[in-house]
Amino acid sequence: MKMNHKKIYMEILEHINKVPVIDTHEHLESEDVRLNRTVDLFNTYLIHYASSDLVSSGMGDNELAFLTGDSTDMEKKWSVFKPYWERARNTTYCKSLISATKGIYGIDDINEDTYLLIDAKMKECNKKGFYKHVLKDLCNIEVSILDSDIRCDKEFFRSAIRMDRYIKFESVDVIAEVEKQNNITVTGLSDWVEYINRAVARYKKVYGIVCIKTAMAYERILKYDKTSFFDAERIFDSVLAIRAKYGWNRLCDANLELKPLEDYLMHILVQCAAEQNLPVQIHTGLQERNGNYITNANPTHLINLFMEYPTVRFDLFHGGYPYSGELCAIAKNFRNVFVDLCWTHIISREFTVRLIEELIDTIPMNKIFGFGGDYCFVEGVCGHLYMAKENIALALANKVYKGYIGMDEALHIGKRMLYDNPKEFFNL
């Protein structure tokens, strides 16, 4: 870094550090749930992300299960963890844990000399007020959008509702569940569509949800073809018939082609979003955990939805990684598509800095959301946010250094990314 570049970077970072943050996406448990859990370094830090890189480096499933399990033998856990940590500690997932440890517990590294100390500090800090300390005092997050917990603590969160299980039927008999909870009998597809419509309206009215979230790229391709009601109804009737005759858990064995029904229901859900004026958050790109079909998650599969529902605003997650060039092109092309860098900073810092520079070249600045922690444990949010702020500052400094934008414009874009854009988009 040349000196004047470093000066530009430091000035932008200093400014960005003062900007309050709207965090577009989290999975955090409530503070009460966390306080009632026995936390240790391994069962907390390895809930996700870094654990996937440890597995990728060769860790066995039984070893990961031991680390995330109840054993209180920290020395034993360290001896299992250590060889894989030494292989994988270069990745940004792992660096994010180091960043969190530094930011919250004031310890510079996770190694043989520090792991017991970090574990002790984690246990000591696990008391009322920890969320306020991390999310407000350290991170200055005004509000985070929380995936699925509709009864969230409004001091910290607003809710996104996930309706995937009512579209892509899994092992649980969701029809029975809905019938019981709502005292209704589902006799056909019309009843099911009516339930989805009523549920979304109620979640908005009663719980104040700010958007709908869908993450089906974990299980299927994101291509939602236009299906007729009659074709979808025929499949739904088969689902009801199999359920009545053999039970819900035999649905998988029936080899039923469910995709046209799922496609139909996704269109219904997007129509609900239009009626309720709710944006839709969609998982695109890399899936968490190991062993999945990345091609299912390419955002280009979604183009027919963007075309068909121009009044619905779509928030596309994870910078589309690794399909980010495609995502830039789509967001440039469609008024209703926005790019969200939740999770992206911890997939790769290098990639995200380049992507931000590319986004500034390609799409209007109001369409970039700079941060979503996407963590299940609160330390991760802090580690991730520190990296995100540095990444945004570096990308903006690069653009200033190259003469593409001036300093004032860089500061303006930085604030928009972290605060103004998501605030306006989600009506917060």
Site size toward Zn ion, by CB under 5 A: 1
In angstroms, the CA 262 to CA 241 distance is 17
* Cβ count near 365 (within 10 Å): 16
Segment contacting Zn ion (CB under 5 A): 222-230, 307-315, 354-362, 374-382? 374-382
149 binding Zn ion? (CB under 5 A): no
**Nearer of residues 148 and 238 to Zn ion, judged by Cβ:** 148
Amino acid found at 107: I
In angstroms, the CA 187 to CA 11 distance is 63
In angstroms, the CA 184 to CA 126 distance is 43
Q: Which two tokens stand for residue 196?
A: 């989805």
**Nearer of residues 233 and 374 to Zn ion, judged by Cβ:** 374
**How open is the CA angle 342-346-351, to the nearest 5 degrees?**
90
Q: How far is the CB of 47 from Zn ion (least distance, A)?
A: 12
- Name the helix (H) or strand (E) containing 159: strand 157-162
Q: How far is the CB of 151 from Zn ion (least distance, A)?
A: 19
**Nearer of residues 286 and 392 to Zn ion, judged by Cβ:** 286
* Cβ count near 96 (within 10 Å): 29
315 binding Zn ion? (CB under 5 A): no
Q: How far is the CB of 340 from Zn ion (least distance, A)?
A: 10
Segment contacting Zn ion (CB under 5 A): 92-100, 130-138, 194-202, 366-374? 366-374
Q: Which two tokens stand for residue 87?
A: 């292989």
Site map 68..97 versus Zn ion, x via CB under 5 A: ------------------------------
Q: How far is the CB of 426 from Zn ion (least distance, A)?
A: 16
Q: How far is the CB of 25 from Zn ion (least distance, A)?
A: 5
Q: At residue 160, what are phi and psi to the nearest 5 degrees?
A: -110, 140
Cα 306 off chain centre by: 20
Segment contacting Zn ion (CB under 5 A): 95-103, 299-307, 372-380, 409-417? 372-380
In angstroms, the CA 81 to CA 85 distance is 6
Q: Is residue 343 exposed (0-12), middle (13-18) or buried (19+ Cβ within 10 Å)?
A: buried
Q: Site residues for Zn ion, window 210-269 (CB under 5 A)?
A: none
Q: How far is the CB of 275 from Zn ion (least distance, A)?
A: 25
**Nearer of residues 149 and 374 to Zn ion, judged by Cβ:** 374
**Nearer of residues 372 and 414 to Zn ion, judged by Cβ:** 372
In angstroms, the CA 252 to CA 231 distance is 19
Q: How far is the CB of 418 from Zn ion (least distance, A)?
A: 18
374 binding Zn ion? (CB under 5 A): yes
- Name the helix (H) or strand (E) containing 104: helix 92-105
**Nearer of residues 374 and 379 to Zn ion, judged by Cβ:** 374
Cβ contact 317:285 at 8 Å? yes
Q: At residue 147, what are phi and psi to the nearest 5 degrees?
A: -75, 115
**Nearer of residues 263 and 374 to Zn ion, judged by Cβ:** 374
Q: How far is the CB of 10 from Zn ion (least distance, A)?
A: 32
Segment contacting Zn ion (CB under 5 A): 48-56, 101-109, 197-205, 370-378? 370-378
Residue nearest to Zn ion (CB): 374
Q: Which two tokens stand for residue 15?
A: 């400014």
The tokens 């280009």 sit on which residue? 300
**Nearer of residues 115 and 317 to Zn ion, judged by Cβ:** 317
Q: How far is the CB of 267 from Zn ion (least distance, A)?
A: 23
Residues near Zn ion, by CB under 5 A: 374
